[in-house]
Amino acid sequence: MKSIKVTILNKQYPLKVQPGDELLMEEVAQFVDRRLKDMKKHFAGQPNDTIMVLSCLSLAEEIFLLKKNMPDSFDKDLNNVLFGEVAESLQESLNQINTTKIKKK
């Protein structure tokens, strides 16, 4: 695993990624950062935790709609692997956020 740092909502987060996945994860982090900033504008005054949850729900909805609209001929095993990896990555990110919050308390 390789360690990188990404910035989301002006805060740096350390991540461990597979070698060769650094640029992809940086692009993903930039995408998430833009989504969070857009949500923050839309829900001005809400705490960052609320913004993060709403953004996660929005992203999950997009994933579910994409999954639902995939043609039946799409390889279901590949589908499960791809969405499993996304879910695993999201869970790791949430765990890191929670760990950071606990350390601050």
Residue with tokens 């809400």: 46
Quick one: pLDDT at residue 91? 74
The residue-averaged pLDDT of 12-25 equals 92
Q: pLDDT tens digits, residue range 30-82? A: 999 999 999 999 999 999 889 989 999 999 998 888 878 877 655 565 566 66
So where are the chain's domains? 2-104
- Residues sharing a CB contact under 8 Å with residue 99, sequence separation 6 or more, in sequence order: none
CA-CA distance, 49 to 58, in Å (whole number)?
14
Predicted TM-score (pTM) of this structure: 0.64
- For residues 7 and 97, the model is more confident at 7
